């Protein structure tokens, strides 16, 4: 059962990455474009106020911090759940994608998460984050 939950979380991370990049990412097995369209329809309206956006971003980073704490204590499954919640709350949270990618390592999902982090850092003009993500990808034999 826990393996199924873990795989579902990875699939959802993949779907969230695909929607964050405009659907240009490779989808996880079993994920259709209909799933992405359904997620697109549930996006928050573009006219949200800045306080709501800041609040979502802050809560997302709180999930990342909880995930890092869980990972440090040896609970990788809980850490991945926190990273998933962070990405679900703020799909532009490059730090969450980076943390998930680092946790998942040399798997397809880990590399996809790190590629998402690199892309998001690049879009946000965060040179340090971009360099960290691309060097991780190079160390793991993956290109950007």
State pLDDT tens for residues 91-109: 999 999 999 999 999 899 9
- Alpha-carbon distance of 142 to 21, in angstroms, equals 18
CATH code of the domain containing 44: 1.25.40.10
Per the listing, tokens 């991945």 go with: 80
Q: Which of 82, 96, 125 is nearest to 20 (CA)?
A: 96
Indicate whether 16 belongs to any domain. yes
Question: Contact 25/116 with Cβ under 8 angstroms?
Answer: yes
Strands (E) across 7-125 are located at none
Indicate whether 8 belongs to any domain. yes
User: Tens digits of per-residue pLDDT, 50-90?
Assistant: 666 668 889 999 999 999 999 999 999 999 999 999 999 99
What mean pLDDT is reported for the chain?
75
Residue 103 lies in domain: 2-139
- Alpha-carbon distance of 12 to 77, in angstroms, equals 15
Length of the chain in terms of residues written:
144
Question: Contact 117/129 with Cβ under 8 angstroms?
Answer: yes
Indicate whether 144 belongs to any domain. no
User: 76 or 3: which carries more pLDDT confidence?
Assistant: 76
Question: Contact 39/60 with Cβ under 8 angstroms?
Answer: no
User: Tens digits of per-residue pLDDT, 112-137?
Assistant: 999 999 999 999 999 999 999 999 99
DSSP secondary structure letters along 4-52: HHHHHHHHHHHHHHHHHTTT-SPPPTT--HHHHHHHHHTSPPTT--HHH
Question: Contact 113/94 with Cβ under 8 angstroms?
Answer: no
- Domain total for the chain? 1
Indicate whether 104 belongs to any domain. yes
Indicate whether 41 belongs to any domain. yes
pLDDT at 35 over 90: no
């Amino acid at each position: 059962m826990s393996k199924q939950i873990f795989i579902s979380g990875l699939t959802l991370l993949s779907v969230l990455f695909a929607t964050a990049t405009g659907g240009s990412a490779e989808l996880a097995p079993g994920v259709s474009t209909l799933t992405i369209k359904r997620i697109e329809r549930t996006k928050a309206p573009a006219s949200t106020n800045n306080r709501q956006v800041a609040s979502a971003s802050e809560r997302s980073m709180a999930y990342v911090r909880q995930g890092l704490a869980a990972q440090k204590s040896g609970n990788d499954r809980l850490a991945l759940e926190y990273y998933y919640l962070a990405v679900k709350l703020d799909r532009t949270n490059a730090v969450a994608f980076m943390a998930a990618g680092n946790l998942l390592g040399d798997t397809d999902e880990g590399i996809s998460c790190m590629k998402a982090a690199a892309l998001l850092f690049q879009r946000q003009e965060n040179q340090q984050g971009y360099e960290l993500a691309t060097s991780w990808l190079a160390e793991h034999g993956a290109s950007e």
